[in-house]
Chain A
Amino acid sequence: MTPFWVALLIKLGVTTVLLIAISLLLFIVSWAERKQSALIQDRIGANRAKLFGVRAWGLWHNLADTLKLILKEDYVPPTGDKLLHTLAPFLAMFCAMASFAVIPYGPPVTLFGHTFDLQVAPLNVGLLYIFAMMSIGIYGFVLAGYASNNNYAFLGGLRAASQMISYEVTMGATIVGLLLCYNTLDLQQMVIRQGDLLWGWLPAWGLVLQPVGFFLFMAAGTAETKRIPFDLPEGESEIIGYYVEYSGMKYGMFFSADLLESILVACLAATLFLGGWQLPYLTAGGFLLPGGLTWALPHWLVVALQVGAFAFKVVLVSWVMMTVRWTLPRFRYDQLMKLGWTFLLPISLANILLTGAVIVALGA
């Protein structure tokens, strides 16, 4: 039995690593988004901020922006609700951050005789927890619109609420197919089961078992995080958005919450559909190729490879989401609702039906 203080230290270590990784990813994603859009549109992008005479391809612009946001006046509209207005960005940010707690970013690790999961909270209802957090996160955006006492902000908040709730239905329905396949809500267990091989050579990743589910999840996930082409809650030319009355770091928190949510969806997509930290044919003892070839690797190297594989997948999914963002025009609001309720939801329900039928037919 692990003594309490050792367990505490381990938990702190696991949490710190995750927190640093997320902050770094947030930093890099907001930079990459600028530079990628610039290259796509034949521009250079932000490149003027200089630190110690080094421009570093505009990396410092994030620091400059953060500094600017912190130093700006924090304005609460006089007719607005001060408490809720202040609470909203914290709620949005908190829910986005807290959802990462159940993402397993590595295999079970043995260190000095103690075995632990590379996962902050090994919950057996991890997936439900994430959905709960996302649902509470909606309150942040609705409150922002409500507490500002501004019609435009209110419209933005309403749009955010109805959009996120609509697409959460699709997202939830998409996940059911996976639950039927893996029989668990525990994300770590789900990833471990994705290490199985079908017919001895095909990794049983969610993408292989639920190809339709993957596309539905990506579409619903993009809508859930309010990113282009589904960024209806914010429309600079029409309603501005739920954050119209926000300035300074509170606005920055909404901005980061949005980015964090998109990273979260990337993490979820990697965990649920792309095998999480699984590298094909890499088992705890080393590589085990389908032909019977084996290549033993030390424990630390296996862990490093698998954590690296997870990071790579998350970056890849984020990248795809950003590319789609800079490719597609936005939907109109009625098109968005039509797409969600009359197109994605029926397909996801049919997907559940088909998955269930196949599982019953196979007698599994």
Chain B
Amino acid sequence: MGSLSSLYQDMILDHNRSPQNYGRLENANRRVEGHNPLCGDQLTVWLRMDGERIEDAAFEGSGCAISTASASLMTGAVKGKSRLEAEALFEQFRRLVTGVLTPGEAETMGKLAVFSGVSEYPVRVKCASLSWHALKAALEGPDTVVSTE
């Protein structure tokens, strides 16, 4: 089960079991709901923006291990980043999970690189990307709903 263990790496299982930044964010000024109608995954992402900077980020919802761990690591990764930095990271993440990022580039992504195995499972790309799509929408404006479809 080579590729299965590359998909379900320990860090992903850990973040699924104990997600970080989980729960409603107090004083948030951005809130976006994300849906994956294919599997029923549903999550909410909150941001507290200080001008162009993401001061804090959190999420809540139900989803598979890939989607939950991705939201956990995403919220951790974008905290303190500027809007432009976070958008660049989203683009890099998108390339990572669709398998077009070189291994060298993936190494620069830190913990997020654990999602490289997703590229072998095309149907799981949406799981891994759901929270990122919500993040992108949240950066663009408050209170919207995004869907992976």
| Chains A and B come from one and the same complex | no
Using a CB–CB cutoff of 8 Å, the interface residues on chain B facing chain A are: none
